[in-house]
């Protein structure tokens, strides 16, 4: 089982999967999946960025239909995030192989090496490298948690497969993924197409006041950076709620200095993230947040620094691919519908370069990035069936 590779977290915590890019667990997982790919009639290899690629030639010489997702996990993550899309892609190839059906297009199945961004701090790193979003020269500058640069990690990575290249021409990219939230499960529906992948804006903020003795400094004389941070956190929540669903705002990291119980905090570093499927609204959230931070600084007597926003616009999925997915859902006996993705995915990087689409299946209880992550096997099989049918429909339409 794929989850066995990386199944024990650092420190002996066996409650989730911790499979980080270019680790021994990643190399083992690649070898396992490559074996499944070979059984499914795919020729396998790894590209220069550590991505596992399996290819089955088509009857013609046209571009490939690519199925994929990612192989890595967050620390103590679940067994479905990313892995489901890779395994389902192999299952589609296996079904075609066993039936003796050869597509007009080539079929490629890809397991991206680094999507979560845990190791190098850059989300969807591997697919961004493939599409040129991360220039090659930056690989010598990105440094991972183990101290090695991306270039050094790639040079040392030896999964034991031959070198191959990502398909140069693609007719479509398809990705099956768990929703990672509660919306689909609550709807009572089981399998939608993804309409848009959310835009994401992130920044880092520093608030500085004055450290002083917690027992002798009167409340009226304090320049407490943590109190200012509390105002900022509440402002993030208020702005996101005012923007309306599906906009969300999060402060996920907070560092207080000097961090002693008897000292008034003099400095706080915090992260701010907004997500929404409306690019204009996303920029308005960033501008509104900057105004709120300025007001907090004035009200609390604090200086502040707002880092540059790392802003990625929402990415709509291809309408033609969405129609094919909708037909595949209908052919599976379900009512077709579409929903946005609140999480980022590799498809957002492929979409500007090739027609792309995604299929969602429910996350039980809305849990993901957690050992509690679960998708019923019946839903996983339904999603894989929709994926396979979509491949056939796109292949027939593209002849």
The answer to whether residue 9 scores a pLDDT higher than 60 is no
Question: Which residues, including other chains, have CB under 8 Å from residue 216's CB and lie 6 or more apart?
Answer: none
**Structure confidence at residue 62 (pLDDT):** 84
> What residues does each domain of the chain span?
2-197+314-397, 199-312
Topology of the domain covering 199-312: Alpha-Beta Plaits (3.30.70)
**Structure confidence at residue 255 (pLDDT):** 98
Between CA 338 and CA 324 the distance in angstroms is 12
Largest CA distance in the chain: 81
Share of the chain above pLDDT 70, in %: 97
The answer to whether residue 396 scores a pLDDT higher than 70 is yes
The model's pLDDT over 336-377, given as tens digits with 9 standing for 90+, comes to 999 999 999 999 999 999 999 999 999 999 999 999 999 999
Peptide bond into 357 cis (omega under 30): no
**Structure confidence at residue 10 (pLDDT):** 46
Over range 117-144, report the average pLDDT. Answer: 92
Helix, strand, coil percent values for the chain (each to nearest 5): 35, 25, 40
Q: Strands, DSSP E only, in 251-314?
A: 254-257, 263-264, 267-276, 303-306, 310-312
**Structure confidence at residue 163 (pLDDT):** 96
Give the residue among 365, 377, 320, 366 at the shortest CA–CA distance from 343.
Answer: 366
The model's pLDDT over 249-268, given as tens digits with 9 standing for 90+, comes to 999 999 999 999 999 999 99
Over range 141-169, report the average pLDDT. Answer: 95
The answer to whether residue 12 scores a pLDDT higher than 90 is no
Residue range 2-197+314-397 in CATH 3.40.630.10: yes
The answer to whether residue 167 scores a pLDDT higher than 80 is yes
Helix (H) or strand (E) segment spanning residue 282 = helix 279-300
The model's pLDDT over 61-80, given as tens digits with 9 standing for 90+, comes to 889 999 999 999 999 999 99
The answer to whether residue 7 scores a pLDDT higher than 70 is no
The model's pLDDT over 369-382, given as tens digits with 9 standing for 90+, comes to 999 999 999 999 99
The answer to whether residue 244 scores a pLDDT higher than 80 is yes
DSSP reduced 3-state for 279: helix
Peptide bond into 156 cis (omega under 30): no
**Where does the pLDDT of residue 8 fall: very low under 50, low under 70, confident under 90, or very high at 90 and above?**
low
Mean pLDDT of the chain: 95
Between CA 57 and CA 42 the distance in angstroms is 8
**Structure confidence at residue 161 (pLDDT):** 97
Burial of 97 (0-12, 13-18, 19+ CB in 10 A): middle
**Structure confidence at residue 137 (pLDDT):** 87
């Amino acid at each position: 089982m794929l989850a066995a590779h990386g199944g024990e977290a650092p420190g002996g915590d066996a409650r989730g999967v911790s499979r980080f890019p270019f680790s021994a667990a990643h190399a083992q997982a690649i070898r396992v999946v490559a074996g499944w790919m070979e059984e499914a009639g795919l020729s396998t290899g790894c590209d220069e960025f550590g991505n596992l690629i399996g290819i089955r030639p088509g009857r013609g010489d046209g571009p490939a239909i690519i199925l994929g997702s990612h192989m890595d996990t967050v620390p103590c993550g679940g067994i479905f995030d990313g892995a489901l899309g890779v395994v389902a892609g192999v299952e589609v190839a296996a079904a075609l192989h066993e039936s003796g059906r050869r597509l007009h297009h080539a079929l490629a199945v890809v397991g991206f090496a680094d999507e979560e961004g845990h190791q190098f701090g850059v989300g969807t790193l591997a697919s961004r490298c493939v599409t040129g979003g991360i220039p090659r020269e930056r690989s010598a500058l990105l440094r991972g948690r183990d101290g090695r640069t991306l270039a050094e990690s790639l040079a040392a990575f030896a999964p034991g497969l031959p070198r191959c290249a990502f398909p140069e021409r693609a007719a479509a990219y398809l990705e099956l993924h768990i929703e990672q939230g509660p919306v689909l499960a609550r709807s009572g529906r089981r399998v939608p197409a993804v309409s848009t992948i959310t835009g994401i804006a992130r920044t880092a903020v520093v608030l500085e006041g004055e450290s002083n003795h917690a027992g002798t400094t009167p409340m009226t004389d304090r320049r407490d950076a943590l109190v200012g941070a509390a105002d900022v956190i509440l402002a993030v929540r208020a702005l996101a709620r005012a923007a309306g669903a599906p906009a969300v705002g999060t402060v996920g990291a907070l560092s207080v200095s000097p961090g002693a119980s008897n000292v008034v905090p003099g400095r706080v570093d915090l992260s701010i993230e907004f997500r929404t499927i409306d690019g204009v609204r996303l920029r308005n959230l960033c501008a509104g947040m900057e105004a709120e931070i300025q007001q907090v600084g004035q009200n609390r007597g604090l200086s502040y620094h707002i880092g540059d926003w790392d802003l990625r616009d929402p990415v709509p999925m291809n309408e033609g691919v969405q129609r094919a997915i909708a037909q595949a859902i209908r052919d599976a006996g379900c009512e077709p519908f579409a929903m946005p993705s609140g999480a980022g995915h590799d498809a957002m990087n492929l979409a500007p370069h090739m027609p792309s689409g995604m299929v969602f299946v429910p996350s039980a209880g809305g849990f993901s990035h957690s050992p509690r992550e679960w998708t019923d096997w019946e839903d996983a099989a339904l999603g894989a069936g929709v994926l396979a049918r979509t491949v056939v429909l796109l292949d027939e339409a593209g002849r």
